[in-house]
Amino acid sequence: MTNDPIRFTPGSNQRPQSEVYREAYEQWVAADAAARLLDETKSAVFAQRVLEAMRSAPGVSMSKAELEVRASAEWRDYLTKMTNAKTAANKAKIAVEFHRMKYWEATQDRADQRFEARLAP
């Protein structure tokens, strides 16, 4: 399955729609889990880095160590990684909803065609 939901068109995929949904949901669940893990461990990672900063410079205050960690490139990289993971999870969720909407549209189109066929003389 492609990560670009815009390329999806009804009838272009010969696999059952349930399989398409399952794959899209699995991608979303995996991306969401990665984002939540980074978010849930943010405090622990920060505390570890502050502790490392305090150990490497004995006598430095906790507030100074926290400031150094927050100003570090490593912390910025961690926050960027966390943000990118959340963005990936959101995009995966959009893909799931896109597949759902396209399926609904295709189903509605078929219903409209059946209705029009009944009205035709």
Q: Which domain holds residue 84?
A: 16-119
Is residue 2 in a domain? no
Q: How many domains does the chain have?
A: 1
Tell me the one-letter amino acid at 17. Answer: Q
pLDDT tens, position by position, 72-99: 999 999 999 999 999 999 999 999 999 8
Diameter over CA atoms, the chain: 91
Residue of higher predicted confidence among 104 and 14 = 104
pTM for the predicted model, two decimal places: 0.70
Query: How many residues are recorded in the chain?
Result: 121
Is residue 6 in a domain? no
Is residue 7 in a domain? no
pLDDT tens, position by position, 13-39: 578 888 888 999 999 999 999 999 999
**Four-point Cα dihedral 49, 50, 51, 52, nearest 10:** 50
